[in-house]
Structure 1
Amino acid sequence: MTVAQHIQYSHNGKVVHAIKADLGAIVLRNIGNTAVVNQPKFGVNGTFFNLQNGQLTGIAMQGGLAVHTNGSVNQGPCGIATKRGTMYCYNGGNAVTTGVVTNYSDTSLSNIKWAIGGYSLFPNVTYTQSAFYTAINGIGNASTCDAAKANSQNAYRFDPSINRPRTAIGWDGSKIWLAVFQSENAYQVRQFMINRGCNVAIMLDGGDSSQMKYAVVRNGNPSPMSYDPSNEQRGVFTMVAVEATDWV
């Protein structure tokens, strides 16, 4: 049996919806160019994608297979393969870690169940806000495909002054946390995950893509609810699904 729970928080005076779930309930799904909030399944939006060609620009693998086209590699601007924070569920689905990789196969982990790419939040590293942004933004011109950016996580969109809807996934050593933020910067998303006890966490696709489908238990039955902070019902291509057998 696997269990999941929806919890609503206020972080910095803004709404955060979270799902706390057993690791065994997590499955990566291809949902085509459709909205998470319109799915029959529960969960959040997954990794980044190119809306023009419908290909992923972040890793999304389930059972050794790409969830959607190009799901085995992290890419940055101009289609440059880029090292980015990627969460792996391995050891037959019993352990979780993150790495900064370009390709899904750039790891010595064994028996990988799933992997999802995004941007590193580094909750297990002590950072000031400025040092954190330097660590993930890299050095170089944010608007061009220069070599410095190609060798970083290309997180130039994480300007500390920019607050927007965000989605993140974390692991506290016992449970997976999925969170969708009404409007936040990357550093405060990191802080929220630290407050949940997560020692590994990454940022998933955000902005209009940020969406959550969750259950609220009423009279002993899970009733579907959704949270779409941009109210766009934007089509995305991957979903971190929560296929729990029970909601509490």
Structure 2
Amino acid sequence: MTTAKYSKTTHNGRDVRVIEADSESISVVKIGGSVLNSNNYGVNGTFFNSSNDFLGIAVNNDTGVGGNATFNAYGQKQRGTFYCYRDLRSGNRVHDVANVKKVEDFPISPNMKLFAIGGLNLYVNENITEQEFYRRLDVNEQASGINNVINKSGSTYSSPGLRARTAIGYSYTINKVVLVVFQNETPWGMRQFMKNKGCAMAVYLDGGGSSQMRYSGQTTGAFDPENDNRTVFKMIRVNPHLLQTTFLFLCSGL
């Protein structure tokens, strides 16, 4: 039986919503509108532009789910990408984050990519300062062109303003994929939260009005921090019914 647990908590005094799910229940899918109107459970996926082109990797079962969905920034920028793959030698399901330009750049082979979603690496497995964290987002991932990600003055970096943000990570402590939507947070604050959740790897997904979650517990509900109900074209879906398993959403912190 695969399960998913929804919970509501706070970080830095601000609202946070969390889904902890078995990896087998996760898929990356293309949708025609918002997460809230999709009739799926889960969160929004990667970045996109005004032409509805994907600006980040969005792959399910080794196949891109939309135009440009096998590239990060049209294959021009190496950005943090969350992978779930089956190692063909061992048969095990494995999770990892790598900075890549295109989905096939993932350095471990042979494997079958069960799903992959691009964004920005939160570097949760490294002991770095806030200054170094933002420097890496700027230099390694060229994230300065993304709204409200980096605040830079000369050679000095600091956190940008607060906004809604979405993240995905994996915790070996609970052996779950962790999906999080923040009401208002900085990228550094997201990193702190994901580390506190025991995540050994994590990626920052699209934010602002794109940050959305739809969940089920004692009741079905949605979290849309900016009340935008924005069309996002793709999402990370939590749906073990696809695997003919029992779906159990547990509620806590309500």
Q: Is the 8 A contact 1:170 1:199 kept in 2?
A: yes
Matched with 1:171 is 170
1:56, 1:215 → 2: CA distance? 28
1:21, 1:231 → 2: CA distance? 25
User: How high is the TM-score relative to the length of structure 2?
Assistant: 0.86
- Read off the aligned partner of 2:142 and give its amino acid letter: N
Post-superposition Cα deviations, 1:96-116, rounded to whole Å, max 9, x if no partner, equal 001000010102341111110
After TM superposition, the structure 1 = structure 2 runs for residues 171-190 of structure 1, keeping only pairs within 5 Å, are 171-173=170-172, 174-190=175-191
Post-superposition Cα deviations, 1:149-177, rounded to whole Å, max 9, x if no partner, equal xxx31222423031110000000021000
Matched with 1:44 is 43
Q: Is the 8 A contact 1:164 1:185 kept in 2?
A: yes
Matched with 1:29 is 29
Matched with 2:235 is 239
User: How high is the TM-score relative to the length of structure 1?
Assistant: 0.88
2:119, 2:213 → 1: CA distance? 17
Are 1:155 and 2:148 matched, yes or no?
no
Q: Is the 8 A contact 2:57 2:118 kept in 1?
A: yes
Give the C-alpha shift of residue 80 in structure 1.
6.6
Q: What stretches of structure 1 of length at least 5 have no aligned partner?
A: 139-151, 218-222
1:211, 1:112 → 2: CA distance? 25
- Read off the aligned partner of 2:162 and give its amino acid letter: N
Q: Is the 8 A contact 1:137 1:158 kept in 2?
A: no
Post-superposition Cα deviations, 1:110-155, rounded to whole Å, max 9, x if no partner, equal 11111100000010000111111111112xxxxxxxxxxxxx3122
Matched with 2:225 is 229
Q: What stretches of structure 2 of length at least 5 have no aligned partner?
A: 151-158, 241-246
1:185, 1:241 → 2: CA distance? 24
Matched with 2:7 is 7
Q: Is the 8 A contact 2:75 2:101 kept in 1?
A: no
Indicate which of 61, 69, 85 corresponds to 2:59: 61
CA RMSD of aligned residues (A): 1.3
Label 1:80 to 1:22 Cα distance change in 2 as closer, same or farther (>3 A).
closer
How many pairs are equivalent? 225
Tell me the secondary structure at the aligned position of residue 55 of structure 1. Answer: coil
Identity over aligned pairs, percent:
37
Post-superposition Cα deviations, 1:50-93, rounded to whole Å, max 9, x if no partner, equal 12x21101000001111111100000xxx671100001101167
Q: Is the 8 A contact 1:118 1:203 kept in 2?
A: yes
